[in-house]
Amino acid sequence: MNLFNNSKYGNLLTVILIISIIAIFGIIGLIGYRIYRKYYIQTGTLAAATEFEAAVSAGNTNNNTVQNDGNNNELFFGNVESTFNTTDTDSGSSSGSGTSKKTTYKGFDVVGTIQIPAINLKYPILEKNTPKALQTSVVLMYTANGLNEVGNSVIIGHNYRNGTMFSNVKKLENGDIIYITDLQGRKVKYTIYNIYRTSGTDGRYITRNTQGKREISLSTCTDDSKARTIVLAKED
């Protein structure tokens, strides 16, 4: 009887050990995947934002050359594909130069870039507001008259737990700076003056009167997804 009990106890310990090993490898794999995904997202989007700024800058100095690897205009940053394409297009902005660069990132039209030095953030701003676009970068949800034009423009992004997209927006403070570069190559400096939480159904920050100023609003969900963090910034 004791031998039988010892055998059952030994088998139970073996099963527990195997389950523990599997759980440990699973946790390590999950952490590794999150680190890889963070690196992949940040590296790819940084490359796309940098190339966008180079493209619109070249387009506004009558230099239409954009460096690529010679393979379907797909640009690379390190070993990460940015899938960034650029073509000439007419500018619809009254304050633009008349010609700008139409660019895409992973199949989505890019309308500008956002840079926030305080949280080491730089992303291309995508035009199309879809679930897939929001998984790819940050998105222009609303604009009164266009990026860097008079009125409010709302940029939204996910609050991922891996540190990408707008997950660090909650660390911003009044006085921090946001830079927006648009299709005409204009880079405008905005200063944050208000940060607050509100419900997901509160849209008062979207179509607000900016008193003839250019303003930017950032919006992302809170960590518990029960509310939204809103960041308001105005041009200097």
Query: pLDDT of 114-158, one tens digit each?
Result: 999 999 999 999 998 999 999 999 999 999 999 999 999 999 999
Question: Which residue has better confidence, 35 or 128?
Answer: 128
> How many CA atoms within 13 Å lie on the side-chain side of 10?
6
| CA–CA separation, 157 and 167 (whole Å) | 8
* Strand stretches in 58-213, DSSP E: 76-77, 80-81, 84-90, 99-105, 108-116, 121-126, 138-143, 151-156, 177-182, 187-198
Whether 230 and 195 have beta carbons less than 8 Å apart is answered as: yes
Phi, psi of 21, deg, nearest 5: -65, -45
On the 0-12 / 13-18 / 19+ scale of CB atoms within 10 A, 157 is buried
Domain ranges across the chain? 2-235
Residue range 166-186: mean pLDDT, rounded: 94
Whether 83 and 52 have beta carbons less than 8 Å apart is answered as: no
Whether 36 and 79 have beta carbons less than 8 Å apart is answered as: no
Class for domain 2-235, per CATH? mainly beta
> How many CA atoms within 13 Å lie on the side-chain side of 157?
25
Tokens 């004791």: give the residue.
Answer: 2
Most confident of 55-69, 71-85, 95-109, 169-183: 169-183
Q: Is the pLDDT of residue 61 over 80?
A: no
Name the residue among 163, 128, 153 with its Cα closest to residue 218.
Answer: 153
What's the confidence (pLDDT) of residue 19? 82
Q: Is the pLDDT of residue 68 over 50?
A: no
What's the confidence (pLDDT) of residue 162? 76
| CA–CA separation, 41 and 165 (whole Å) | 9
- Tell me the average pLDDT of the chain: 78
Q: Considering the entire predicted model, what is its pTM?
A: 0.69
Q: Give the SS3 label for residue 170.
A: helix
